[in-house]
Every structure is written in structure tokens, then in C-alpha cells.
Structure 1
Amino acid sequence: MKIFVKNGLIIDPDLGLEAVGNLYIADEKVACIQTAAGNFGVLPSWSKEGSIGEDVTVIDATDKWVVPGLIDLHVHFRDPGFEYKEDIFTGCAAAAKGGFTTVCCMPNTKPVIDNAEIVKYIDEKTKRANGVNVLSIGSITKDQKGERLADIREMSQTTTRSTGIMGKGICAISEDGRSVMNAGLMLQGILEGKANGLMVFSHTEDDSLAGTSIGEELIVARDIMLAKEAAYPIHLCHISTKGSLEIIRKAKDDGIRVTAETGPHYFVLDKSNVGDEGNKKMNPPLRTKEDVEEVKRALQDGTLDAIATDHAPHSSGEKDCGYRKALNGVVGLETSFAMSYTALVRGGILTPSELIDKMSCKPAEILGADRGSIAVNKAADIAIIDVDKEYEIKAEDFVSKGKNSPFLGMKVYGKILYTLVEGKIVYAAE
């Protein structure tokens, strides 16, 4: 498929590029980037004036952003076992509508993603979805019971879509949904990950102190110490407190290889916003206004490397029951870019390039995946976005089965117009 994207603001932090230009796509890859300063790559023969034929799809991106496809390090597609909440097909549809071309699925499914059979099941189902890259995250322990390690090597050596993107059958290991509370076993998990080239994505919460700031901060500190002992990097999920950020900042200053993510709800909302709304119950919970300001500062100074959604769909009955009874979790794939752009770029916290770095380039780097850039000869994973488009977030507009967004009724800027995966249009706004 040949695609000509014309007159867009092309933003690629990896290339140091932020310029109006044209993008030419052929054979699933970026063929050429053309700007006033010159060309990256060679203009294809069909690009010449008057030669663009009917076999070329033309997208007018005037006054729109053209960026590397977004990458989400942290989603729950609920498949297998909880397909009434979400499945691979609806999850991929939500991802594409949100501008995401690659997502990483956490293992707390039923059965748990702890063996090659479940990894293959997800991969086979992904082949029948819309084309979004779905990478499985394997469980650290068998059945997430925290008693013995899962067969991490077996999962790593399974041939999947992930293998073609990052050379391993799964993209990481995690116990997300809970922490591995036995520190010795967690260290074994980090070391087994190291042996197989897989990073641990740490669910940063002490189960006995669930929901408290100290519960998050204890596991952040512990897992950083374990990563230092193992001499191998670790990634920390859904960071939400000032104390955690102070620990991470100190660890980075000391040269410990640690990366960390947060989600839009932790830099947009605080606990004063909760009321009795089940849609504002998540794990970790919303924090104080001071924590929110510290999360924004940490995004700005690089303490936080990435923005992830922790997309966690639930049925209406599981959320429309008041805060106390509601299950933890909120959806985020279809709102993440708009919330982040509105709060961080329009809010003066990040530049456009810095935002794309945290939503695409840096996640790719953390994974070790050959994505997150629209350089010539790279896979044409691309999002085209109208950042001037204002709209209200409404549950009825979601394609995810989950409607449990904490942002319903909010007005935001940033509408995804097109999402391309390997040069194929997998989403086009109506």
C-alpha cells in the first residue's frame, strides 16, 4: 500500500525533527520524509508531480501532527477469562482510536499469562484483530500466586508478533494486579528476566498496605534495591506519589537503571475529585494535589519516563455502584493523548516533542522494540492528530467495552484522525 501524507507537522524526537513536510509510505515502511530543509530518504518515483495515481492514498495533514504511533506499556485487555469486560478485538479497536499502534498486555487474565499456550492464544487472536501490535507481558510467578517462578524462558522463546518486534515472545514480565511480596523470589524473577533479556515491570504496591502512599513507596524502594543487586534495569508502573518520585530521582542520580511511568489520571485528577464515583476508583488511588503537582514536575524533569494508561475496563455493574463497592480500574486508551496534550502541552508542562517522546519514543526504548520513530525504512506506525479539535469525552463514543473513564464530561483538545500500523490504515475518524 502506498500512502502520501502531505503538509503535516512531522514530530519525531528520535530524529530531532519538528517541521512541516510530506511523508511517503510504501511496502509497510517510511520511504521518505520531505521538508523545506531537505529530504530524509529518496523520493519514490510515484511522488513526482502529476504521477500520484489511484493506487496511492493521499492524506491531507495540513495543520495536523504526524507522529510515531503511540505505545502503551500497560494495558489490561481481560482476554482470556474476562471477555465481558474487554477482549482482544475491542481492545485493539480502542487502541487504534486512541492513536496507539503497540500495546503491552498485563498478565492478570484467567488463566494467567504464565505459559506459552496462553501467549500463543493471545497472539493468534491478535492476528484476527485490526493490526495493532499486541505484546504479552508474562507473569513472574506461576498463576500469580507468588510461590514459584513461571516458565519465563518458555514464554520468551515462543514465536509471536513480539518476536518480530523485539526478538522475544513476550515483551516483559510482571505480576501486575499485585506485587511479588517475597523479596527473594522477586530477585529471582529479575535475574530470570535478565537471563532472557526481559525487564520486570513492577506493580509498585505492598499488598498489606494497599492504597496507601507508604505501600507504594516501600515497593518502589525495595524493587530499586533488588534491581541494583541484580545489576539489571527495572521499570516501575503507575507511579503516583511525591515520595516515590523522590526515591526514583535519587536512584537515577546514583546511576541505578530504573525507568518509571505514570497515567493521565495521576496528573489531571486528585482525591478531592472523587466523591462517590466508582469511575474514579483505581489502584493506586488518586492522591493529593501536592502529589499531582509533583507528578507533573517529574514528567518535566525526566524522573518519569513514560505515560501509560493502565487501561482497565469493567462492566457497568462493577463500576456504577458507588466508590466503596466499585472495582479498581479505569479505561484510558481512547482519552490518553487528549488528556495528556491538554494538561501537559497546553498546560505548559511539556513541549510537543517531549510529549511524543513519553508516549512513543521512550516506551519503545524501554521495551527495546524497533518502534517509536518514523525514520526512513522504519515500520510505518504513525498517528495523525488534530490538536486544535476540542470535544467532550463521552462514554457513548468509546469503542472499548469499558465505559469506566474518570474523565467523562471533560472537554479536551486532540482528536486522533488516522492510525497506521506498518503502512496500513487501522483507524480513520468519521
Structure 2
Amino acid sequence: MKTLIKNGKIVTKDNQTTTCDLWLEDSIIAGIGKDFSSMTFDQEYDAKNQLITPGLVDVHVHLREPGFTYKETIKDGSKAAARGGYTTVCAMPNLNPVPDTVEKFNDVMAIIEKDAVVKVHQYAPITEELRSEVLTDQKGLKTAGAFAFTNDGVGVQTAGTMYLAMKEAAENNMALVAHTEDESLLFGGVMHKGKISEKLDLPGILSATESSQIARDLILAEETGVHYHVCHVSTKESVRVIRDAKKAGVHVTAEVSPHHLILIDENIPEDHGYWKMNPPLRGSEDREALIEGLLDGTIDCIATDHAPHGFEEKNQSFLKSPFGIVGSETAFQLIYTHFVETGRFTLEQVIDWMAVKPAEIFGMTVGTLTIGQPADIAVFDLNHEEKIDDKKFASLGVNTPFTGWPVKGATLMTFVDGQLVYNKED
């Protein structure tokens, strides 16, 4: 099958745009140029002078299946990813049952194989049932196809357990991906500890809850030589210790989520579950540190932490609502509108953080527009402004405070291995 995507614009290394066509054949990018008029194609798509990028890569999503299919399914979650321009997503293992054995892991992979419309890499847990001190069979899970190891949703509480897990991951040449949260410092907190938590009379979460465990883990990562990746960094202290560790030669990478780059706790208008996320929205100094961390390379990439929940369970107070915000369908639009349109980031930087770098740091052969590479491609409309409309979401989850926000950068088309998996016109 030969496919032509014509009249699009791509971003060059000097942040300039140039008009070009893409020739796709047999699931790969076969050509990038300006004139394929002498060739015959099986199908053609007009990009209408809009932006063509490599398919976005999200190393942190929750697809909720098996166990929580009222929140999300692999099919719906992958459709949501495609609607947001993502062609590769990496799914967390806080499922029911937890895929902590090869047999249970294979059951999840079978659903992915059957239902996913984008590429889904599945994480395996670090410990059995996520909260135990018993390590999983890393070697067996790696052979079964595990992307990396994480207990996302809870931090590994015991340093000895984390040390042993890192040591084994290093031996298996696998990344250890950490949700960092010292539960002894939680004190029942549900939002960032500060003036807003006091105003709403809600228990606060210390910044040290996150940063202290990162500091612990960085020492262990240096000791073991593991590739240690920090999930959803949210505090200025976390940025500082990661920056110092990188300067010391520790193999650490890190991600930040769009909501932590855009929102702070002072934006929270009321005690409502749509504003409850883990880690919580922090202060203005934290947000600025995250932005600076991206710009100076301390933070490597942007990941959504797409975490859908049922409407009723999120439509209540902080004390009763679960943590989480959806993000697959809004991430690119929010980042483009709030940072590229305002001149804080360049378009080239955003593509780097949302496609190139996440693939690069985990060794995935996606994330670039390169001849011979997989034909995973997104086309975005950078000109038309629309409002985020949760009624149009492909995800089962609508739990986001961004509904109604004006944005540009809607996804027009998404291709996975050269096949059209999302078309806004449909």
C-alpha cells in the first residue's frame, strides 16, 4: 500500500517550517519531498498546509483494563491517544489483577493486541501486587514484552526493596520508572500544602513527600547504575536534586505533565475532584522550576499521566474523589496554545519533548520523521481556535478542569504504521 500525505508543513532543526509531502509504503516512511507527482498512490490525504509531526509518544498513561473498564478500556484509551496525535503510549500496571506474573501480563498483552488502535507498550510492576516487598520476575516479564518496571500510583516505600529492584533492572538492562511518594510524609494530604489548602480547609501534601524519595532513589541509582526515570515531577526541590544528579553522571531521566506546567494550586477555585491529581498542583515557584527544568534539559520529556475515572467518583470533594486527570486528547493543544503561541517554547522544542525525546530515552524506534522509520505521523491544525469539549472525547473519562478552555492545535489526522487511525472529519 502506497500512501501520500501532501501539502503539509514540517518543522526543521532551526525551528523553521517547510512545505513537503510524505510518501508512506509498507508501514514505513519511504520518502519526504516536494514532488511525487510522477508516482501513483493507492490513497492520498491532503494536509492542507497544516503541521505534520512524528506521532507523539506518551510514556505515562492509564488504560484501566483489566479491572476498571468503567473508567477506561484499552480500545477507548488508545482511541483517545490517537485523537490527541499520539501513536505510541506506555500503559501503567495498576490494574486488577496486577500483571505481576508472566501469565497475567500476557492476558493484558492479548487485549492490547486485539483492541488497541495505537502502539501500546505495557509496564510491569516492580513488586507483587504493587504494595508488597516481593520483587516480580523481571527476567520473565521482560521476555514476555514488559516495557519497563514501575509501581506507578504508589511509591516503593522501602529503600532496600528499591535497591534490589534497581540492581536487578540494571542486570536485565531495563528502566526502573518511579512514582515518588513517601507515604510517611503524606499525613492524609489531598492537595498541595499551602495557602489554598488552608483556605479550603483541606489537608496538604508536602513537597518533601515527592522530593525526599527522589533524593533517596538517586543515590540508589548511582550505586546500581540503573536507568532511573522519574514520573510526573512537580516540585522545585525535585528539579534541583535531579539536576544535581545529572551533573554527577547518574543515569536519570524525568517527565513533567502538562497540567503541572500550566496550573498551580492558586488556580483551584473550589473543593472539587476535577482539581485533584497526584502529584497535586503546586505553587508558582514550582511551576517556574518545571519550565526551566525542561528548557535546560533537567526534565527530558512531557508525558500526560492520562488517568480517567468515572464521572460520579470525580464529581465530588477532594476528600472523597480519587486522584487523576485525563490528558491524552488535550496535551498537545494545551502546550501549543500556552507556550508556543506565547513564545515561551518553540514548536521544535515541543515536538522534541513530546515525540523525539520520550522515544529516545527509552530506546524506541519511533518519534522522528525519518526515511525508513515507522510511518507514525500526526497532522495538526495550528490556526483554528476551538474550546476543549469533553463531549467529543474518545476517552471514557472526562475528568479535567480544562473543559471550555480555548486552544489551537487540534489533531486532524493520525497514522500508525501508515494506516489512518484518526480523522477529525469522520
- State if a TM-score over 0.5 links the two structures: yes
Opposite residue 153 of structure 1, the aligned amino acid is K
Opposite residue 188 of structure 1, the aligned amino acid is L
Equivalent residue for 1:165? none
What is the root-mean-square deviation in Å for CA atoms of aligned residues?
Answer: 1.6
Instruction: Provide the rounded CA distance (Å) in 2 between the counterparts of 1:229 and 1:394.
Output: 47
Opposite residue 46 of structure 2, the aligned amino acid is D
User: Residues 284-320 of structure 1, C-alpha deviation per residue, up to 9 Å, x if partnerless?
Assistant: 1000112112211211221111100111110011100
Moved over 4 A (4+): 15-18
Q: Pick closer, same or farther for the CA change 1:157–1:419 going to 2, 3 Å.
A: same
Matches within 5 A, 1:29-428: 29-35=28-34, 47-49=36-38, 51-53=39-41, 55=42, 57-158=43-144, 169-210=145-186, 211-274=205-268, 275-428=270-423
| Residues 12, 18 of structure 2: 8 Å contact kept | no
> SS state of the match for residue 124, structure 2?
strand
Which stretch shows the higher mean deviation, 112-121 or 211-220? 112-121
Instruction: Provide the rounded CA distance (Å) in 2 between the counterparts of 1:142 and 1:217.
Output: 25
Q: CA deviation at 1:130?
A: 4.6
Equivalent residue for 2:198? none
Instruction: Provide the rounded CA distance (Å) in 2 between the counterparts of 1:422 and 1:83.
Output: 27
Which stretch shows the higher mean deviation, 129-138 or 264-273? 129-138
> SS state of the match for residue 115, structure 2?
coil
Q: Pick closer, same or farther for the CA change 1:220–1:18 going to 2, 3 Å.
A: farther
Equivalent residue for 2:5? 5
Percent identity reads 41
| Residues 312, 331 of structure 1: 8 Å contact kept | yes
TM score, norm. by length of structure 1? 0.91
> SS state of the match for residue 389, structure 1?
coil
> SS state of the match for residue 62, structure 1?
coil
Q: Unpaired runs of 5+ in structure 2?
A: 187-204
Q: CA deviation at 1:12?
A: 6.5
Opposite residue 289 of structure 1, the aligned amino acid is S
Q: How many residues are paired up?
A: 406
Matches within 5 A, 1:9-28: 9-11=9-11, 18-28=17-27
| Residues 156, 180 of structure 2: 8 Å contact kept | no
User: Residues 32-84 of structure 1, C-alpha deviation per residue, up to 9 Å, x if partnerless?
Assistant: 1115xxxxxxx8xxx343x435x2x2222233111111111111111111111
Opposite residue 313 of structure 2, the aligned amino acid is E
User: Residues 160-203 of structure 1, C-alpha deviation per residue, up to 9 Å, x if partnerless?
Assistant: xxxxxxxxx11110011101111111011111111222101111
Which stretch shows the higher mean deviation, 112-121 or 139-148? 112-121
Instruction: Provide the rounded CA distance (Å) in 2 between the counterparts of 1:369 and 1:333.
Output: 19
Q: CA deviation at 1:18?
A: 4.8
TM score, norm. by length of structure 2? 0.92
| Residues 146, 181 of structure 1: 8 Å contact kept | no
User: Residues 4-39 of structure 1, C-alpha deviation per residue, up to 9 Å, x if partnerless?
Assistant: 1112112376x998532111001110001115xxxx
Instruction: Provide the rounded CA distance (Å) in 2 between the counterparts of 1:358 and 1:146.
Output: 34
Opposite residue 103 of structure 2, the aligned amino acid is E
Q: Pick closer, same or farther for the CA change 1:301–1:258 going to 2, 3 Å.
A: same
Which stretch shows the higher mean deviation, 169-178 or 246-255? 246-255
Which stretch shows the higher mean deviation, 120-129 or 179-188? 120-129
Q: CA deviation at 1:256?
A: 1.6
Q: Unpaired runs of 5+ in structure 1?
A: 36-42, 159-168
Instruction: Provide the rounded CA distance (Å) in 2 between the counterparts of 1:12 and 1:106.
Output: 33
> SS state of the match for residue 142, structure 1?
coil
Opposite residue 200 of structure 1, the aligned amino acid is L
Opposite residue 52 of structure 1, the aligned amino acid is T
Equivalent residue for 1:164? none
> SS state of the match for residue 363, structure 1?
helix
User: Residues 307-341 of structure 1, C-alpha deviation per residue, up to 9 Å, x if partnerless?
Assistant: 00111110011100122221100100000110111
